[in-house]
Amino acid sequence: MGGPRMALVSMSMAGLLGWAIVSAQSYPHAFPRDGVVKLFENERVTIWEVNWKRGVPQPMHRHISDMAGAYLRYGPVAVTTIEQEAAGKPLPPAVPFDVPRPYFGLKGVTHREVDNGGPGDPERLAIMVDLREGYVPTPFAPKAGLEPAFPRVGAKDVLDNERVRIWDYSWPPARPLAQHVHDKDSVEIFFEGGTIVSKSADGREDRKTWAFKSARFVPRGLVDTEEAVFGTPRAMIIELK
């Protein structure tokens, strides 16, 4: 009963499945895209400033690497998977959250992200860090007696897994930190600005002012002291494992 019709349906389903597999392979990486700016790149990371712009269509995309980061401004964004979109399901409601908010996502995720806020709603902003594949760190042994940069007093451990550990930290004003070693490569994402003076082990002084959404890469092995000489800078600090 209905043999030819069932065969036709089966062939159609097989064709759709094959199309989906081929199509999935052609999805672009999450970045770059409209509203996204590359801030920094080396063999370990690529750092992106990500703005979800209202009224700008966004493609279905696939994350080709693990990604960590921090949301710096909340804005309504609807995230739709391939399956949800294929089934014609309505956009899921956005769920508000406090910022700064740490983030980690595994590679292979394929979805679409759409700003679906109203005229008076803010647009979401984040700094996202692609964790480059294939990097093998060289052996590293810190000098005996040096404390690691983290953990430190006042730093909150807000996310920890096999790839990264993320700290939420505010530099206390006019209170120098003892000399320490950055025993892991890290990315600092600033939520509040300020000026930090760093002094390296050889006595060189580096004075930099950081603003909201500034980001910097700190290499493993750096030995320094740090002091906030203006403001109380606050950052999400992503240590790479």
Range list for CATH 2.60.120.10 in the chain: 28-131, 147-240
Measured from the Cβ of residue 161, the count of other Cβ atoms closer than 10 Å reads 12
Structure tokens at 149: 């940069």
Which architecture characterizes domain 28-131 according to CATH? Sandwich (2.60)
Predicted confidence (pLDDT) at residue 124 exceeds the cutoff of 60: yes
Asked whether the beta carbons of 95 and 146 are under 8 A apart, the reply is no
Predicted confidence (pLDDT) at residue 170 exceeds the cutoff of 50: yes
Predicted confidence (pLDDT) at residue 163 exceeds the cutoff of 70: yes
User: The whole model's pTM is what?
Assistant: 0.87
Report H helices in the chain: 3-25, 82-86
Predicted confidence (pLDDT) at residue 10 exceeds the cutoff of 70: no
> Over the stretch 72-118, which tens digit does the pLDDT of each residue have?
999 999 999 999 999 999 888 888 999 999 999 999 999 999 999 99
- Which of 128, 137, 87 minimizes the C-alpha distance to 105? 128
d(CA 228, CA 233): 7
Residue 25: band (very low, low, confident or very high) from pLDDT cuts 50, 70, 90: low
Domain 147-240, CATH: 2.60.120.10
Helix (H) or strand (E) holding 39: strand 36-41
What was the pLDDT predicted at 99? Answer: 98
What are φ and ψ of residue 5, in 5° steps? -65, -45
Structure tokens at 22: 């081929």
Return mean pLDDT, the chain: 89
d(CA 100, CA 123): 14
What was the pLDDT predicted at 184? Answer: 95
Q: Which of 80-94, 97-111, 119-133, 198-212 has the lowest mean pLDDT?
A: 80-94
Residue 167 CA, distance from chain mean position: 13
Structure tokens at 159: 């996310």
